[in-house]
Amino acid sequence: QVQLVESGGGSVQAGGSLRLSCAASGYTYSSNCMGWFRQAPGKEREGVASIYTGGGSTYYADSVKGRFTISQDNAENTVYLQMNSLKPEDTAMYYCAADGRCASVVAGLVDFGYWGQGTQVTVSS
């Protein structure tokens, strides 16, 4: 059974930082794509960043380029999302996802097979 467990969400002021973690189990972590998506109230889920666990290639949505960094720890089957210079518009539920196409996060697609339960990020102005 595939499990993706996110952690690290919280409330910060604009300009602050948070680091999200996603621990994967029951899943062939290597040589696959892991991604982060987010969904704000009343809006559709959107891609944020993704990483190919086999080679480390990364993709970022334009809205987070230069501020967010996705990384991985293959020994721990864990993917991270370091979020710096947070803005109120980053407020959303953030979801970890696996088994998808890495380019989906920049193509407006939400076609990953497995999802975590989400972790809330709230940025106040």
Please list the pLDDT of the chain residue by residue as tens digits (125 residues). 889 999 999 999 999 999 999 999 987 777 789 999 999 999 999 999 999 988 889 999 999 999 999 999 988 999 999 999 999 999 999 999 999 999 999 898 889 999 999 999 999 99
CB 111 within 8 A of CB 101: yes
CB 20 within 8 A of CB 83: yes
Dihedral sign for Cα atoms in the order 47, 4, 31, 19: positive
Give the Cα separation of 96 and 19 in Å (integer). 13
